[in-house]
Amino acid sequence: MVESFVATLDLDGITMMVQDWGGPIGLSVAVRHPERFRALVIGNTFGWSLKGEKTFERFSKLRSRVPIHVLPREIMAAQPLLSEVEQGLGRLAHLPALIVWGDRAQAFKEPQLRRWEQTFPNHRTVVLHGASHYIQEDAPEEIIAAITDWWPGQPANQQSASRFGRLREHS
């Protein structure tokens, strides 16, 4: 659906934000059409297989979260999509990336953050202190400030250190 949306509107110069299970969904479009993307905003998510990672396998089997347990289970089973995304991340590595990361998230933790930082050499990381899984609900102002401060192409003299979180910039 995302791919059809992008194609139907003939979108170009896209800055896309991905978070949670939307990471592999959105990134699958970006790896298929990297020429349409200008930058990425990445929040606690993944873009590779999670098989063998016990935390994720346990979460995908929870029955207490009906009906939302279905999507994690299906994505865990979606190895062709996850493999496509993982193999295609190199085609996106040149893009500027803002990584906004909740430090209290239950699923996505430091190892996933480090992997994103290694994948995108031209990134800025903003740790959202106290934000859990739903970063957009827990830290909306911090995310807005981080995007505003980071936006690719913004003149350097207009960029400033974020008022929120801890910044780690890499160019």
Q: Note the pTM of the prediction, 2 decimals.
A: 0.81
Q: Cβ–Cβ contacts within 10 Å for residue 164, how many?
A: 20
In this prediction, residue 57 carries a pLDDT of 59
> What is the rounded distance in angstroms from the CA atom of residue 56 to the CA atom of residue 45?
12
Record the tokens describing residue 42, joined without a space.
Answer: 């990445």
Record the tokens describing residue 15, joined without a space.
Answer: 């800055």
Domain 2-45+86-169: give its CATH code: 3.40.50.1820
Each of the 171 residues of the chain gets a pLDDT tens digit; together they read 899 999 999 999 999 999 988 999 999 999 999 999 999 999 999 999 877 776 665 655 655 555 555 666 676 678 899 999 999 999 999 999 999 999 998 888 899 999 999 999 999 999 999 999 899 999 999 999 999 999 876 554 444 443 334 444 444
- DSSP of 63-121: STTTTTTHHHHHHHH-HHHHHHHHHHGGGTTTS-EEEEEETT-SSS-HHHHHHHHHH-S
In this prediction, residue 49 carries a pLDDT of 85
> What is the rounded distance in angstroms from the CA atom of residue 126 to the CA atom of residue 105?
14
In this prediction, residue 169 carries a pLDDT of 47
In this prediction, residue 21 carries a pLDDT of 84
> What is the rounded distance in angstroms from the CA atom of residue 146 to the CA atom of residue 169?
12
> What is the rounded distance in angstroms from the CA atom of residue 60 to the CA atom of residue 76?
7
**Which three-class secondary structure state does DSSP give residue 1?**
coil
Core vs surface per residue 76-112: b (16+ CB within 10 A) or e: bebeebbebbbebbeebeebbbbbbbbbebebbeeeb
In this prediction, residue 160 carries a pLDDT of 42
> What is the rounded distance in angstroms from the CA atom of residue 4 to the CA atom of residue 32?
12
In this prediction, residue 77 carries a pLDDT of 73
> What is the rounded distance in angstroms from the CA atom of residue 135 to the CA atom of residue 125?
14
Residue 169 identity (one-letter amino acid): E
In this prediction, residue 108 carries a pLDDT of 86
In this prediction, residue 62 carries a pLDDT of 55
Residue whose pair of structure tokens reads 């933790």 in the numeric block = 109
